[in-house]
Amino acid sequence: MITLQFVPYTEMEGLSQAKRLRKILSLVKEEKIVLMEGRLKSPDDADLIKEAMQEIDEKFKGIEIAEVNPEHGENTPFFAKVKGNFVNMLIGDRAGMTIIGPATVIKEIKKDPNKIQLFASDANGKKKRR
Amino acid sequence: MISVFRRFVNKVFRDLFNRKGELKIGLYGPPNGGKTTLANRISQDWLGEDVGSVSNMAHETRAIQQKEEIHVKRGKKELTFNLVDTPGIATKIDYEDFVKSGMKVQEAKKRAKEATKGVVDAIKWLDEMDVVIVVLDASIDPFSQVNITIIGNLQARNIPVLLVANKVDLKKASVKKVQAAFPQYEVVGISAKMGKHMDKFYESLFAVAG
């Protein structure tokens, strides 16, 4: 069984970087797939990878991560991008969504700018599209 | 915020004591993109020696490797730099993948442990770089989060980037796809293994780092 947990932006915005990353990793290590409102900023994303690497052992193999940023697609009109940047300035990186899950559960995430395909492993270790 | 401040202090000190040859150019990218192959190509072209060993198995480079004082000449232009080859950045490392490739369990576990440390070190070294060459395998999907994270972090640190679409000798390679994924950068398509389009590569390197 796959467990998805939605984490709203408001739950993360007041936390320090260390607490934000700890929260994400704790959920992922409970074998949950985190659907986070908004996107991780730099260097939070690189630091999340760094933290995940430091915790790899025989049970925890790391993470799979992908984000969707609907305002910055390849074919997004110029004014939509400007509008998106303006909204981000006002409310932070709230637009879009980030998916983070354990590498043992998510086998692969395929994405283009506006679409994500998540391949989870079934009980037999085979890939299944979600 | 702290890393921006640290980078600013590093830059001030570097500028104060800047000497010829202190420019650090880093090779970054996901595993198996061809970073060490490109490092070897550059080092062979100008020093006549290799930087490190290459392999088809991921995470062959698990520690930072450096070649100092590489002196590149193009006409009247000259560029001296230290080349830093970094381990591939990944979000997951499973020793069982190495076992599947024929490695013994103990050896695979050791390789996985070294590889995780290599990723941490590569990320830590980002702040030390003056210019970064991001090496991507042009034959695979460029829209991976690792690629986006590397490039986003370089942008956030204001580090100049040269984006290389490597392995253009492969049938599936598409420089256009890499360019479409990162339209803010000019992409140079090369084959580091075959030495293809290296002239164009050095021209772009001068444009970014010169």
* Interface-testing mutation among B5, B6, B59, B91, with chain A (most A C-beta atoms within 10 A): B91
B93 near A CB under 8 A: yes
**Given strand B23-28, what is the order of strands in its sheet?**
B65-74, B77-85, B23-28, B131-137, B161-166, B187-189
What pLDDT, on the 0 to 100 scale, is given for residue A115? 74
Option in A64, A110, A112 nearest B92 (CB): A64
pLDDT tens for B178-195 read 999 999 999 999 999 999
- Report, as an integer, the average pLDDT of B72-82: 93
Q: pLDDT-based confidence at B21, cuts 50/70/90?
A: very low
Q: What is the Cα–Cα distance from B22 to B84, expressed in whole angstroms?
A: 12
- Report, as an integer, the average pLDDT of B201-205: 97
B50: CATH: 3.40.50.300
- For the cut 90, the answer to whether the pLDDT of residue A79 exceeds it is no
Q: What is the Cα–Cα distance from B52 to B49, expressed in whole angstroms?
A: 9
Phi, psi angles (nearest 5°) of residue A103: -65, -20
Nearest CA-CA distance, residue A66 and chain B, Å: 5
Q: Which residues of A touch B112 (CB under 8 A)?
A: 56
* Residue at B160 is within a domain: yes
- Report, as an integer, the average pLDDT of A1-14: 92
Nearest CA-CA distance, residue B64 and chain A, Å: 16
Q: At what angle do helices B105-125 and A44-54 cross, to 10 degrees?
A: 150
**Two tokens, residue A82:** 């400007």
Q: What is the Cα–Cα distance from B62 to B121, expressed in whole angstroms?
A: 9
pLDDT tens for A37-75 read 998 988 999 999 999 999 999 899 999 999 887 655 555
Q: How far is CA B188 from the centre of its chain?
A: 14
* Residue at B12 is within a domain: no
pLDDT tens for A91-111 read 556 788 999 999 999 988 887
Higher pLDDT, A106 or B3: A106
What is the helix (H) or strand (E) element at residue B23, kind and residue range? strand B23-28
Domain boundaries, chain A: 3-129
Q: What is the Cα–Cα distance from A32 to A102, expressed in whole angstroms?
A: 7
Q: By C-alpha distance, which of B204, B192, B163 is closest to B52?
A: B192
Option in A43, A53, A74 nearest B119 (CB): A53
CB atoms within 10 A of CB A52: 29
Number of Cβ pairs closer than 8 Å across A and B? Answer: 74
Residue A113 preceded by cis peptide, ω within 30:
no
- For the cut 60, the answer to whether the pLDDT of residue B79 exceeds it is yes
Q: What is the Cα–Cα distance from B54 to B60, expressed in whole angstroms?
A: 6
Q: Under an 8 A CB cutoff, do A42 and B152 touch? A: yes
What pLDDT, on the 0 to 100 scale, is given for residue A119? 87
What pLDDT, on the 0 to 100 scale, is given for residue B199? 96
What is the helix (H) or strand (E) element at residue B201, kind and residue range? helix B198-209
* Residue at B76 is within a domain: yes
* Residue at B84 is within a domain: yes
Q: How does DSSP assign B90-106, residue by residue?
A: -SB--HHHHHHTT--HH
- For the cut 90, the answer to whether the pLDDT of residue B118 exceeds it is yes
* Residue at B104 is within a domain: yes
What pLDDT, on the 0 to 100 scale, is given for residue A71? 59
* Residue at B185 is within a domain: yes
Output the average pLDDT for chain A.
83
What is the helix (H) or strand (E) element at residue B202, kind and residue range? helix B198-209
- Report, as an integer, the average pLDDT of B152-175: 97
- Report, as an integer, the average pLDDT of B10-18: 54
SS (H, E, C) B110-178: HHHHHHHHHHHHHHHHHHHCCEEEEEEECCCCCCCHHHHHHHHHHHHCCCCEEEEEECCCCCCCCHHHH
Q: Name the residue range of residue B175's domain.
A: 20-209
What pLDDT, on the 0 to 100 scale, is given for residue B129? 97
What pLDDT, on the 0 to 100 scale, is given for residue A124? 56
Residue A51 and residue A23 in contact, taking contact as beta carbons nearer than 8 Å: no
What pLDDT, on the 0 to 100 scale, is given for residue A67? 87
What is the helix (H) or strand (E) element at residue A25, kind and residue range? helix A17-29
- For the cut 90, the answer to whether the pLDDT of residue B33 exceeds it is yes
Nearest CA-CA distance, residue A121 and chain B, Å: 15
Q: pLDDT-based confidence at A2, cuts 50/70/90?
A: confident
Domain total for chain B? 1
pLDDT tens for B35-51 read 999 999 999 999 999 99
* Residue at B35 is within a domain: yes
* Residue at B7 is within a domain: no
Q: By C-alpha distance, which of B168, B130, B136 is closest to B149?
A: B136
- For the cut 60, the answer to whether the pLDDT of residue B75 exceeds it is yes
Q: Under an 8 A CB cutoff, do B143 and A113 touch? A: yes
Q: State ipTM.
A: 0.87
